[in-house]
Amino acid sequence: MLNRALKLIRTFHQLSQVELAKRLGISNSYLSEIESGSKSPGLDLLNQYAVIFKIPLSSIMLFSEQLEVATPGNKLKVKAADK
């Protein structure tokens, strides 16, 4: 669920994929592959996310793990956040 967490963080901060890809120094297509789950980001890239969004890397990982916990209320929150 790391891919979903990264996408939710980006959308929460109202950044487009194009803008975030520029800030991260990666291509838009690579960012799209990360957010879709077809590619996994490396530790260096995750550290860049932490710097850009001013969030500790540990918080990003914890958020990702929380998305994996399947509870009825949690599913609804995640669906709403995806919209």
31: buried, middle or exposed (CB in 10 Å: 19+, 13-18, 0-12)?
buried
Question: Residue 69 — pLDDT band, cuts 50, 70, 90?
Answer: confident
Question: Residue 1 — pLDDT band, cuts 50, 70, 90?
Answer: confident
Alpha-helical runs (H) found in the chain: 2-12, 17-24, 28-36, 43-53, 57-68, 72-82
Q: Mutual orientation of helices 2-12 and 72-82 as an angle, nearest 10°?
A: 50
| Overall average pLDDT of the 8-34 stretch | 96
Give the pTM. Answer: 0.79
Q: Which pLDDT value is given to residue 81? A: 59
